[in-house]
A and B are shown apart, each in its own frame.
Chain A
Amino acid sequence: MENNELWENVLGDIELQISRPNFLTWLKHSKLLDKNEREGIVMVGLPNNFAKEWVKSRYHKLILGSLRNIDGSIKNVDYTVVNQNPLRPPHTAAKNAQEEASFLESQSPLLEPEVNPKTNLNPRYTFDSFVVGSSNEIAHAAAEAVAKDIGKKYNPLFVYGGVGLGKTHLIQAVGNRVAARHKHAVNVLYASSEKFINDVVWAVRNRRMEDVKKKYRDIDVLIVDDIQFIGGKTATEQEFFYTFNTLYEHNKQIIISSDRPPNSIPTLEERLRSRFEGGMIVDVGYPDYETRLAILKTKARERGFFIDDKVLEEVAARVQKNIRELEGVLNKVVFYEQCKNEKIDEKKLNEIISEAVQVTPKNITANDVVRAVADFFEVAPNDITNRSRKQEVVQPRQIAMYLLRDMLKLSYPHIGDRLGKRDHTTAIHACEKITKECSRDPGLNQKILLIKERLYKM
């Protein structure tokens, strides 16, 4: 049973046994945070210390009893404080909101809000904070050119690349630069494709298509992130197509990002694909060691941390695939050094890195892997698992072997047996080949990452 469901049942049970005000005060905002299956200990989160003390002393038996009724393996309950919202003075809140609204327009903020409500751009993403390396210099140059000369040079600009490699950073940087240079003269709008889809769905449902048309067609620079998600959603694709054409005809700049090039988004309509291909297509690849190191140094400096170069070098060498992971490791290192006042030694660093890099896949089976690979390459799963030697399935099969070994740690004979009753040496060869090619061919590396990405989402 899911933790949430379990806790709902427990609360339902307890609600009947204690008075309503007591329930509302002490338990309404409780949460089941974690269930340690092995030791049978359940961790319950409560909104404040008062609730923690009270529940612990008054309702412990009730909660434990109720939990054990549902799940006999539970032996004990522990409590902790989570979710500390600020104290809210109820009577002043409404007034403040009104007051705030009346001058928000004109009063300049002292601390810039995170995201600009009008353009949807995050001010943190600028060209200055973007680290340029060999893997992204073309994309960077194209983006800068677009920012300089909107709507003329490269239209649309299509940026693609793997997860966490800086696509969003780059396309938002264009928006931020344009917004800063032209102030109110140019309308910039950043939207995730999800936002676009939601807007269209809302408009269809409420018969307010005109509103959406107006919103998206009154724009000088339209930035749409993760366009691959609109593939297959016919109404949205159609609307996007019209919007695209309108903007394009009026020489408005369109910037699009995706996790793969337009010709490999299988569900994308042909006419949209050809539109995308008509502009400039650039990719953001995996950063090389020097770029990773530069990124780490920039991030550390941005936040005012001083970290030993040796540590940064080690992190850059070990975390290879994803800039977000890189940042995560950096944050952890900083946390240890600053908060715990511990100097990072080699052992600790190793621990942090392996923790971050090895996301243990949950419940992924060999079949899932095969299916994901087949899906990705658009071949039939059967082709991968039988003895077919068709050329288009050779690489997918090798990748499947590699993934089975890499993610599930299956034995080579087992892998060979599973994928077309092959010898274990074939499996070994495939894994070695893919490993080697991965380090040479960023395209392959990216494909593998995308497949993994899909697997985690399943």
Chain B
Amino acid sequence: MKLILLKTNLVDALGSVERAVNESSSLPILKHALVKTVGGKILLVGTNLELAIEYSLPGKVIEGGEIAVPFSLFNSLIKNLMAERVAIEEKDRKITITTDNYEAVLQGQDAAEFPIIPSIQKQTPPLLFPTELFRGALQNVIVAAQYSDIRPEISGVYFKCSGRMITLAATDGFRLAEEKINLPPTASSQDTAAIIPLKTASEALKMFKGSEEITVCIEPNQILLSSPNEKIISRLIDGSFPEYHAVIPHHPPHEVTVNRAEFINAVRLASPFSGRANDVIVRLGENKKVLEVYSVDSALGESLYKIPVKGKGERFSIIFNWKYLLDGLKVFSGNEVTLGVTSSDRAVLLQNPKEPNLLYVVMPIKG
């Protein structure tokens, strides 16, 4: 095998594949990445057996072939090179990296030892839609997800496509985030649902930076997300995502709208005074004109922040875990956020009238 590559392209590829390579694996071959040529294309592949990332990078193929390279050594060598172009040649499992004034030889492993990446049958037509919509929604809902030993079915992001609407949702049992994406008429869709493991979802967020469209294929136990030059294949979580629609409050009786940035600031200021349960109190005062964010610690002192409100509502006082509240406030992007309150022991709905497809539900702390 003989290749000539631009260093920057190779660094991008290594950065992407790095996420799938597990340096602490007990199986030595998993500390390697596979470099191979398919036609005139160069592929870099890494896997930890739970997910695999495949990156296709531009370069000149003088002679085809495939070889498994020790990932972390290769990665650090390439990163530190000053040259613009890098030549990589493989002969008898010896990999030679050459630039104008540098040469390194690494011991590679037989490519046949490298795990076979499961193929996607593409029996169902893939979903195709704009990357930014997908990444944006994924970023918004993923804050509510958390790995759970006891409840594997919520340790991921729920992905559902029905008609021309994609729903992403995540919950850790205490809060819930959901965003719906209306597919543009150009996108293709297929009714399907899956639970994407948290790790896969968070890796996918960091990928696909330059691409405009993303393809999603879902099979009974695996998922493929791909752009023209990047692919991530992962297994899915077995199980059924909870029927969460019942916990979303519909038309809560008290709705108050406040400035989002101020609310965030208020929660941040109150947080140092919160106790072990991260508890801060959010209450609508007597005159119903200001929302108070209050917390008190007998040793440290107390903090009170007042934010003017718009909207209808009776007096209420709710205790929140400020981390959950803050996460929720941050998923929105508009200037305002609406707090929908039923009572002090019922779920609270956060919404922004200007972002109707996004919602965040958080459960209060018992008083």
Instruction: Report A-chain residues with C-beta under 8 Å of the C-beta of B118.
Output: 49-50, 52-53
The verdict on B212 contacting chain A, using a C-beta distance below 8 Å, is no
Per-residue CB contact flags for chain A residues 97-113 toward chain B (1 = under 8 Å, else 0) read 10000110111111101
Determine whether the beta carbon of A53 is less than 8 Å from that of B50: no
Determine whether the beta carbon of A50 is less than 8 Å from that of B47: yes
Q: List 15 A-B contacts (CB under 8 A).
A: A50-B116, A83-B238, A84-B236, A86-B147, A87-B51, A87-B199, A87-B200, A89-B198, A96-B148, A97-B149, A102-B276, A107-B366, A109-B174, A110-B362, A113-B173
Task: Name the one of A85, A107, A110 contacting B247, with C-beta atoms under 8 angstroms.
Answer: A110
Determine whether the beta carbon of A53 is less than 8 Å from that of B115: yes
Instruction: Report A-chain residues with C-beta under 8 Å of the C-beta of B26.
Output: 21, 24-25
Per-residue CB contact flags for chain A residues 171-215 toward chain B (1 = under 8 Å, else 0) read 000000000000000000000000000000000000000000000
Determine whether the beta carbon of A110 is less than 8 Å from that of B361: yes
Known: A81-B221, A86-B147. 17 other contacts (CB 8 A): A21-B27, A24-B26, A25-B27, A48-B50, A50-B52, A54-B116, A57-B116, A84-B238, A87-B235, A88-B147, A106-B277, A106-B279, A107-B365, A109-B363, A110-B244, A110-B361, A111-B242
A92 to B175, CA, bound (A): 19
Instruction: Report B-chain residues with C-beta under 8 Å of the C-beta of A103.
Output: 276-278, 321, 365
A360 to B202, CA, bound (A): 48
Instruction: Report A-chain residues with C-beta under 8 Å of the C-beta of B366.
Output: 106-108
Instruction: Report A-chain residues with C-beta under 8 Å of the C-beta of B28.
Output: 21
Name the residue among B156, B235, B278, B347 with the largest chain A CB count within 10 angstroms. B235
Instruction: Report B-chain residues with C-beta under 8 Å of the C-beta of A106.
Output: 277, 279, 365-366
Determine whether the beta carbon of B277 is less than 8 Å from that of A110: no
A107 to B347, CA, bound (A): 11
The verdict on A363 contacting chain B, using a C-beta distance below 8 Å, is no
The verdict on B358 contacting chain A, using a C-beta distance below 8 Å, is no
Q: A-contacting residues of B (Cβ < 8 Å)?
A: 25-28, 30, 47, 49-52, 115-118, 146-149, 152, 154-156, 171, 173-176, 197-200, 221-222, 234-238, 242, 244, 247, 276-279, 321, 345, 347, 361-366
Among A49-68, those with CB < 8 Å from B are: 49-54, 57
Q: B-contacting residues of A (Cβ < 8 Å)?
A: 21-22, 24-25, 48-54, 57, 81, 83-89, 92-93, 96-97, 102-103, 105-111, 113
Determine whether the beta carbon of A49 is less than 8 Å from that of B149: no
A433 to B76, CA, bound (A): 86
Listed from nearest, the 9 A-B pairs whose CB atoms lie closest are A49-B118, A84-B238, A53-B116, A86-B155, A87-B197, A103-B277, A87-B199, A86-B152, A50-B49
Instruction: Report B-chain residues with C-beta under 8 Å of the C-beta of A88.
Output: 147, 149
With both beta carbons as reference points, the residue of chain A lying nearest to B144 in the complex is identified as A110
With both beta carbons as reference points, the residue of chain B lying nearest to A109 in the complex is identified as B173
Determine whether the beta carbon of B173 is less than 8 Å from that of A111: yes
A54 to B116, CA, bound (A): 6
A84 to B173, CA, bound (A): 21
Determine whether the beta carbon of A87 is less than 8 Å from that of B277: no
Instruction: Report B-chain residues with C-beta under 8 Å of the C-beta of A105.
Output: 277
A58 to B8, CA, bound (A): 36
Instruction: Give chain A nearest CB distance to B138 CB in angstroms.
Output: 16
Task: Name the one of A48, A86, A107 contacting B277, with C-beta atoms under 8 angstroms.
Answer: A107
Determine whether the beta carbon of B152 is less than 8 Å from that of A111: no
Instruction: Report B-chain residues with C-beta under 8 Å of the C-beta of A21.
Output: 26-28
A24 to B242, CA, bound (A): 33
A83 to B247, CA, bound (A): 29
With both beta carbons as reference points, the residue of chain B lying nearest to A57 in the complex is identified as B116
Name the residue among B147, B156, B175, B362 with the largest chain A CB count within 10 angstroms. B147
Instruction: Report B-chain residues with C-beta under 8 Å of the C-beta of A22.
Output: 27
Task: Name the one of B200, B279, B363 contacting A108, with C-beta atoms under 8 angstroms.
Answer: B363
Whether A84 touches B221, Cβ cut-off 8 Å, given contacts A50-B49, A54-B115, is yes
Task: Name the one of A83, A102, A110 contacting B173, with C-beta atoms under 8 angstroms.
Answer: A110
A102 to B173, CA, bound (A): 15
A53 to B361, CA, bound (A): 41
Instruction: Give chain A nearest CB distance to B155 CB in angstroms.
Output: 4
Instruction: Report A-chain residues with C-beta under 8 Å of the C-beta of B149.
Output: 88, 93, 97
Instruction: Report B-chain residues with C-beta under 8 Å of the C-beta of A87.
Output: 50-51, 155, 197-200, 234-235
Instruction: Give chain A nearest CB distance to B308 CB in angstroms.
Output: 29
A269 to B116, CA, bound (A): 64
With both beta carbons as reference points, the residue of chain A lying nearest to B172 in the complex is identified as A110
With both beta carbons as reference points, the residue of chain B lying nearest to A25 in the complex is identified as B27
A50 to B345, CA, bound (A): 46
A85 to B198, CA, bound (A): 12
Determine whether the beta carbon of A96 is less than 8 Å from that of B49: no
Instruction: Report B-chain residues with C-beta under 8 Å of the C-beta of A107.
Output: 174, 277, 321, 363, 365-366
With both beta carbons as reference points, the residue of chain B lying nearest to A24 in the complex is identified as B26
Instruction: Give chain A nearest CB distance to B30 CB in angstroms.
Output: 8
Instruction: Report A-chain residues with C-beta under 8 Å of the C-beta of B50.
Output: 48, 50, 87
Instruction: Report B-chain residues with C-beta under 8 Å of the C-beta of A50.
Output: 47, 49-50, 52, 115-118
A52 to B235, CA, bound (A): 12
Instruction: Give chain A nearest CB distance to B347 CB in angstroms.
Output: 6
A111 to B244, CA, bound (A): 7
A89 to B199, CA, bound (A): 7
Instruction: Report A-chain residues with C-beta under 8 Å of the C-beta of B115.
Output: 50, 53-54
A54 to B237, CA, bound (A): 21
Instruction: Give chain B nearest CB distance to A403 CB in angstroms.
Output: 39
Instruction: Give chain A nearest CB distance to B242 CB in angstroms.
Output: 5
Instruction: Report A-chain residues with C-beta under 8 Å of the C-beta of B198.
Output: 86-87, 89
